[in-house]
Structure 1
C-alpha cells in the first residue's frame, strides 16, 4: 500500500495567578497522508478562553490536496460558565 502517515500536535496553556478569567488553551494538529501521487493534509487549530461569565471556543479546520486548500471551516462558539 505504501501509505505514509504523519502527525504533529502542539499544545499551549496559559494562566495568570489568581485571575480566573485568564486561563487559555490552544491546540494545533497537522495530519498528512501520502501515497504515490496522492497527498492530503488536514490542519486544525482550537483555542479555548474564558471570561467571567462565558467560555469561548474558536476553531479552524483547513484541508489540502497536493498543497492546494480544498476546504476550510471556522467555528466561534460561546457557552455560559454556569458557576465554574
Structure 2
C-alpha cells in the first residue's frame, strides 16, 4: 500500500489496520472491513463501501501467500444495480 516500496504489515492486527487505511482512500465513502481470515498460505477479507446517495458496494479479496509475501491477490466486487 502506498508509494513504492509500500508498507509492510505483520500479523492479523496490523493487516487489519493496513486494510482499513487502504479503504479510507476512497474519498466520500464509508468503508467497513469484516471477516479477516488468515489460514496458512491463504487468506481473505470482506469489505463494504457506502457512497452518499448510493447503494453499498460489497466485495472480498482472496490472498495466496508465498513465504511472508502476498503472491496472488484476487478482488471480487458486487455492485447492486437499481431497477
Q: What TM-score, normalized to structure 2?
A: 0.45
Greater helix proportion: 2
Greater strand proportion: 1
Looking at both structures, which has the greater relative contact order when contacts are Cα pairs under 8 Å and sequence separation is at least 6?
1
Q: What TM-score, normalized to structure 1?
A: 0.45
